[in-house]
Amino acid sequence: MPVKLPFESVKISPDEKLQDKQDTIELIAQLEDLAKRHPKKGAVRKFTNLIADTNTPINSWKFNEWDYASKKVSLPTYARGLFTKGNEIICRGYNKFYNVNEFLEVSEDQLKKNTTGPYTLTVKSNGCIVFISGLEDGTLVVCSKHSTGVRDDIQKNHAMAAQRALESQLIGIGQGKERLASALYELKLTAVAEFCDDSFEEHVLEYKNDRAGLYLHGLNFNTPRFRTYPMKKVNEFGQMFGFKETKSRRFETFEELIKYLSNVANEGTFEGEEVEGFVVRCYRTENHEDFFFKYKFEEPYLLYRELREVTKQFIRGGPQNVHFGKHKLICMDYLKYIMPLMHDNQELREQYLDNQGIIELRKKYFVARGKTGLEVIDEEVSMAKLEDEMRLLSFGDSQICKYAVVTVATIGCGKTTTSLALANLFPNIIGHIQNDNIRRPVGNKLVAGALEILINRPIVILDKNDHKFIERKQIFDDFDQLNEVIPTSKLKFICLNFLRNRPQEDKDLWNITRERILERGDNHQTIKAAGKGITKAEKIIQGFIKRFQPVDPGREPDSKFDLIINLDVTSPDSSYANVKTVVDNLISFASDLNLTRPTEEQFQEAFKSALDYKPSVNKIVHSKGGPRAPAYFGIVIPNAEELQNKVVKLIHSTGLDWKTYETLKNTDRLLNDLHVTIIHYKSRKTNGESRALWNMYVKQVFFDDLTKIDENSPKIKGCSIPLPSSPTADIKLEKLCSNDKLVCIKVSVLGLYHADGREIHLTAGNKFPHVTLGTISSEIKSVESNNLLNDICEFHATNGIQCLDFEDSEENTLKGLPIFAYY
């Protein structure tokens, strides 16, 4: 029986109806085709389930999140959430929409140019989206973004929870669910609502008691093209079926809208209530199609999320394990407040970790402070200045650190994909070493290789399952044993915790990782899952899951992690979100590196090429024991010509013939790049003292100064280290010496200095520091200058040797020469 509605439905002409029908058939055919091409990993994934309480199958179509924004990919529809049955669309979500300024296309300028009013601003509710629709026989269909009906493979069923909430809502107002279903069926509409209920799942804003329920915010036509009802009609419909109202306000022009938004941004409220942001509905100018964009408030929600995370870290690992983000000072103050509350209340702690009571605790704190979230943030600005001042006075750690990132996971969790994407995003900063690429027996080669990478990059990811305590302990032990050069206080350990819970009980994990590995087939160094390899591969995956010991920050070795980043493997394409989570955490935790957040497009590109990765079996890391440091440290003589002039002047002043020097000049073998070697890597082999001296150079010269130099500064030829802001040395020219093979100048090193001017109290590792001016042939290496100087200084040899002292003068003292490392 058709339902009489209190409003005129939006009219569609018979021609349009016919067109919609054809378009739908075409769209579904395209989707089927796309899904077949790459069933697991392709552009679209099809998931079939039964509509609740029926035997009717329904298909859900899910695209990769990053494809919506991709310029290279063209999707058959931009609906986020789409359910079909046969050749019919049952539920259709909105076209994917973005935050103002998230992309160029949604910058204020572009929006102003390409959209037309009226602009309807609607309050963005903070829960999970649900789609509601009806079948001909009066069956109600309730879907979450990509799922509907009963499932035994997920822990929380959002669709079913929303269905129960909807049913009790309808009972509450004396309406049969068939009436709603028939209305939606007749009108060929999907009702789009936000399910907000803290007793089911807490988000950032509070929804309990009266506020909990389904907030209707849209009525979409079940057609391929995106068409949606005006807000006024949505609210009328919502009222009829007992939905909660989505508040809205209408603006005729873009200017009026923006003016309103910038005013309201200071308070973060709408009609006195805290809101997370708004969704703005308007039209595309070119074709008058419906068009949406979002406007989200950054604060106080960022603060709220940080408060939640520090509390969880505190509960899990105590104060040492808490890592702060942007709102460090407020978070500290807040922790001080909640510590006594948490101390004796295990129930509170457990509930908090289960996402219950988060909002309550936060509210208590703000009440105690007598301020709102935004007011406290305002205060923090003045506190932050104080912190900056303290940092300038060398309070806190302003040194560049090294970060060893350790993955904890089972097979197929996306370790390699995530690591590769991260290394693609920050090629000069993040290095990646894969356990699977190391020749057996692995021993400590993984850590040795990681230390090697850390010489040149601040971050290394050690890509290995590390699924047991003993494996994590081994990593820490290997670092302790092999690390000779990075000061312990500057070596930080970060855990990428792919699995928070006991994976043995996590069916999703088994399904997702198993599917991934089957899909990967033989594209792995050791696990071959193609053809008959499946059973063996399954056994291997299962073995890892069975043995898995979750990260426990409360005990060793996991308590040694400076930061634990929690990731999720709850959907087949989880790695993309994981990459973003890691980046956001690195930006705030490794603040000394000043990482810039990549754009959405950069994320997508990096991720795509990570997915395309195919290992080469022969890619073996050769690492023998300890890390490789630079080959030597040297002092640059920036102006070779000036030094040559001094030499010529000295020679002339004696009136003697300097045959070797003349030969070098005539054969063009006078060197243009001159340096003094201070200490050579090989010298560490001579004795314990030299080894200790070398290590001190690496620590003090290399890590304290040279690794901090901006990669983009100009570089000296042959050296990988750029000049400006390097540490420096003062030297004195002492003796010009030559034999029939080479000419060199013996120098003395007067002092070594850090880039900030502090003196480096180290002696030169070279017995006779010198500048080699040239050798008569390529066969004769510069290192032979050492032999000549040894002969002269130790044995007072004179045979075939010429020597001349430089005058002890200011002119022959060269100050502020850059120190460099040579590889």
Known catalytic residues are 124
Q: What is the DSSP string of 233-286?
A: HHHHHHHHTTPBPPPEEEESSHHHHHHHHHHHTTTTEETTEE-SEEEEEEEETT
Smallest separation, CB 84 to ligand IDP (Å): 23
Measured at the CA of 368, the angle between CA 324 and CA 211, to 5 degrees, comes to: 90
Which strand ranges, in their side-by-side order, compose the sheet holding 88-92? 44-50, 57-63, 82-85, 88-92
Residue among 417 and 660 whose Cβ is closer to ligand IDP = 417
Mode of pairing for the β-strands spanning 128-134 and 759-760: unpaired
Query: In this chain, which of 412, 458, 634, 722 binds ligand IDP, going by CB under 6 A?
Result: 412
Asked if the bond preceding 441 is cis, omega within 30° of 0, the reply is yes
Residue among 184 and 408 whose Cβ is closer to ligand IDP = 408
Residue among 20 and 466 whose Cβ is closer to ligand IDP = 466
Query: In this chain, which of 82, 234, 261, 409 binds ligand IDP, going by CB under 6 A?
Result: 409
Query: In this chain, which of 80, 520, 735, 770 binds ligand IDP, going by CB under 6 A?
Result: 520
CA dist 485 → 134, 256, 442, 698, 703 (Å): 67, 60, 22, 6, 8
Smallest separation, CB 179 to ligand IDP (Å): 42
Q: State how far the Cα of 136 lies from the Cα of 86, in Å rounded to an integer.
A: 14
Binding mask 467-506 for ligand IDP (x = CB under 6 A): ----------------------------------------
Is residue 611 close enough to count as binding ligand IDP by CB under 6 A? yes
Q: State how far the Cα of 475 lies from the Cα of 471, in Å rounded to an integer.
A: 6
Query: In this chain, which of 219, 330, 361, 411 binds ligand IDP, going by CB under 6 A?
Result: 411
Q: State how far the Cα of 186 lies from the Cα of 206, in Å rounded to an integer.
A: 35
Smallest separation, CB 526 to ligand IDP (Å): 11
Contact segment (CB under 6 A) with ligand IDP among 217-225, 484-492, 514-522, 801-809 equals: 514-522
Q: What is the DSSP string of 153-204?
A: S-S--HHHHHHHHHHHHHHHTT--HHHHHHHHHHHTEEEEEEEEBTTTB--S
Smallest separation, CB 411 to ligand IDP (Å): 5
Residue among 166 and 409 whose Cβ is closer to ligand IDP = 409
Half-sphere exposure of residue 656: CA atoms within 13 angstroms, side-chain side: 11
Smallest separation, CB 571 to ligand IDP (Å): 8
Q: State how far the Cα of 562 lies from the Cα of 208, in Å rounded to an integer.
A: 36
Could you say which residues in the range 385-404 bind ligand IDP, by CB under 6 A? none
Is residue 432 close enough to count as binding ligand IDP by CB under 6 A? no
Residue among 167 and 600 whose Cβ is closer to ligand IDP = 600
Mode of pairing for the β-strands spanning 563-566 and 491-497: parallel
Find tokens 């959002």 and name the residue: 158
Q: State how far the Cα of 483 lies from the Cα of 100, in Å rounded to an integer.
A: 47
Helix 346-353 crosses helix 328-343 at what angle (to 10 degrees)?
130
Residue among 31 and 411 whose Cβ is closer to ligand IDP = 411
Could you say which residues in the range 670-729 bind ligand IDP, by CB under 6 A? none
Is residue 188 close enough to count as binding ligand IDP by CB under 6 A? no
Question: Binding residues for ligand IDP, how many (CB under 6 A)?
Answer: 18
Residues 281 and 256 sit within 8 Å (Cβ to Cβ): no
| Residue 594 C-alpha from the chain's centroid | 13
Residue among 423 and 698 whose Cβ is closer to ligand IDP = 423
Smallest separation, CB 438 to ligand IDP (Å): 14
DSSP code of residue 105: G
Residue among 133 and 419 whose Cβ is closer to ligand IDP = 419
Residue among 327 and 516 whose Cβ is closer to ligand IDP = 516
Residue among 320 and 511 whose Cβ is closer to ligand IDP = 511
Query: In this chain, which of 223, 417, 424, 683 binds ligand IDP, going by CB under 6 A?
Result: 417
Smallest separation, CB 821 to ligand IDP (Å): 34
Query: In this chain, which of 414, 627, 722, 765 binds ligand IDP, going by CB under 6 A?
Result: 414
Smallest separation, CB 413 to ligand IDP (Å): 4
Residue among 60 and 417 whose Cβ is closer to ligand IDP = 417
Smallest separation, CB 463 to ligand IDP (Å): 7
Contact segment (CB under 6 A) with ligand IDP among 155-163, 516-524, 592-600, 684-692 equals: 516-524
CB atoms within 10 A of CB 373: 23
Q: State how far the Cα of 477 lies from the Cα of 469, in Å rounded to an integer.
A: 12
CA dist 360 → 269, 319, 338, 364 (Å): 19, 21, 12, 6
Q: How many residues does the chain have?
A: 823
Residue among 468 and 691 whose Cβ is closer to ligand IDP = 468
| Closest to 156 in 3D by CA, of 514, 656, 544, 570 | 570
Could you say which residues in the range 550-609 bind ligand IDP, by CB under 6 A? 572-576
Query: Backbone phi, then psi, for 95, in 5-degree steps?
Result: -65, 140
Query: In this chain, which of 413, 425, 460, 752 binds ligand IDP, going by CB under 6 A?
Result: 413
Could you say which residues in the range 72-91 bind ligand IDP, by CB under 6 A? none
Residues 119 and 280 sit within 8 Å (Cβ to Cβ): yes
CA dist 605 → 71, 73, 427, 598, 807 (Å): 11, 12, 13, 11, 62
Residues 6+ apart with CB under 8 A from 209: none
Contact segment (CB under 6 A) with ligand IDP among 212-220, 409-417, 762-770, 802-810 equals: 409-417
Contact segment (CB under 6 A) with ligand IDP among 289-297, 415-423, 548-556, 799-807 equals: 415-423
Smallest separation, CB 403 to ligand IDP (Å): 20
Contact segment (CB under 6 A) with ligand IDP among 111-119, 195-203, 424-432, 515-523 equals: 515-523
Q: State how far the Cα of 12 lies from the Cα of 186, in Å rounded to an integer.
A: 13
Query: In this chain, which of 227, 402, 415, 445 binds ligand IDP, going by CB under 6 A?
Result: 415
Query: In this chain, which of 45, 402, 516, 680 binds ligand IDP, going by CB under 6 A?
Result: 516
Binding mask 316-355 for ligand IDP (x = CB under 6 A): ----------------------------------------
Find tokens 């003016």 and name the residue: 259
As a whole number of Å, the CA-based R_g of the chain is 34
Query: In this chain, which of 3, 12, 32, 41 binds ligand IDP, going by CB under 6 A?
Result: 41
Structure tokens at 291: 């068009």
Contact segment (CB under 6 A) with ligand IDP among 138-146, 158-166, 410-418, 548-556 equals: 410-418
Smallest separation, CB 575 to ligand IDP (Å): 3
Smallest separation, CB 616 to ligand IDP (Å): 14
- For CA atoms 617, 622, 624, 627, give the dihedral sign: negative
Residue among 24 and 418 whose Cβ is closer to ligand IDP = 418
Structure tokens at 565: 């980043």
DSSP code of residue 702: I
Smallest separation, CB 434 to ligand IDP (Å): 8
* Chain residues in the site for ligand IDP (CB under 6 A): 41, 409, 411-417, 516, 519-520, 572-576, 611
